[in-house]
Amino acid sequence: MPHQGLGDFEQIVLLAILQLRGDVYGVPIVDEIERRTGRSVSRAAVYVTLRRLEQKRLISSKMYPATAGRGGRPRRCVRVEPRGLQALRESRTAVEQMWRGLTPRLEGLE
Q: Rule CB under 8 A: say whether 65 interacts with another protein.
A: no
Asked if residue 83 binds another protein (CB under 8 A), the reply is: no
Q: Which of 57, 55, 48 is nearest to 85 (CA)?
A: 57
Stretch that binds another protein, among 4-12, 16-24, 63-71, 80-88 (CB under 8 A): 63-71
Considering only residues 3, 7, 74, 94, which one is a binding residue for another protein as defined by CB under 8 A? 74
Shortest distance in whole angstroms from residue 43 CB to another protein? 6
Contact status: 24 vs another protein (CB under 8 A): no
CB of 72 to another protein, least distance (A): 8
To 5 degrees, how large is the angle CA 56–CA 59–CA 43? Answer: 95
- Sole window of 3-11, 43-51, 86-94, 101-109 interacting with another protein (rule: CB under 8 A): 43-51
Q: Which residues bind another protein (CB under 8 A)?
A: 25-27, 42-45, 47-48, 51-52, 63, 66, 69-76
